[in-house]
A and B are shown apart, each in its own frame.
Chain A
Amino acid sequence: MKHLPRWRRPFFALAALPLAIVCTSALLHRGQVAAASPAAAAAAAAASTMKPAIAISNYSFHPGILTVRKGSTVIWVNRDDDVHTIKSTDGPEAFNSPALDTGSRFGFTFHQAGTYRYTCSVHPYMHGVIVVR
Chain B
Amino acid sequence: MSKVIGSKGLGRRQAMQHLLWGGAGLLWTFAGGVPRALRLGGEAEAAEMRGLTFGQISDSHIGFKAGAHPSAEDTLSEAVGRMAALKPGFVIHTGDVSHLSAAGQFATAAEIMRGVKREVFYVPGEHDTIGDDGKLFFERFGRGGGSPGWYSFDTQGVHFVGLVNVLKLTQTGLGWLGPEQLQWLDQDLRHRGASTPIVVFAHMPMWSIYPQWGWGTDDAAPALAALRRFGSVTILNGHIHQVIQKVEGTVTYHTAYSTAFPQPAPGVGPGPGPLKVPADKLKALLGIRRLDLVADRMTVADTTLA
Contacts and interface: CB of A to CB of B under 8 A. Distances in A.
A123 B101 contact: no
Nearest to A122: B126
The size class of the interface chain A forms with chain B is: 10 to 19
Interface stretch (A22-30, A64-72, A75-83): A75-83
A73 interface: no
B100 A124 contact: no
Given A122-B126, A124-B172, A102 B99 contact: no
Contact of A59 (B126, B169, B171, B273): B273
Interface string A95-129: 01011011000000000000000010111110000
A59 B101 contact: no
Most A-side CB within 10 Å, residue of B127, B169, B170, B212: B169
A81 B170 contact: no
Nearest to A98: B131
A130 to B, nearest CB: 18
Question: Chain A at the B interface: mostly helix, strand, loop or mixed?
Answer: loop
A4 B209 CA distance: 69
Select the residue from B65, B102, B173, B213 with max chain A CB neighbours within 10 A.
Answer: B173
Given A98-B130, A99-B131, A125 B172 contact: yes
Contacts of A102: 65-66
Given A124-B171, A125-B173, A125-B214, A83 B273 contact: no
Contacts of B270: 58-59
Given A122-B126, A123-B214, A96 B131 contact: yes
Interface of B: 63, 65-66, 99-102, 126-127, 130-131, 169-173, 212-214, 270-274
28 contacts: A58-B270, A58-B271, A59-B270, A59-B271, A81-B66, A82-B271, A82-B273, A82-B274, A83-B127, A96-B131, A98-B130, A99-B99, A101-B100, A121-B130, A121-B131, A122-B126, A122-B127, A122-B130, A123-B214, A124-B169, A124-B170, A124-B171, A124-B172, A125-B171, A125-B172, A125-B173, A125-B212, A125-B213
Give the 8 A-B residue pairs with the shortest CB-CB distance, closest first: A59-B271, A99-B100, A125-B173, A99-B130, A58-B270, A81-B274, A81-B66, A82-B273
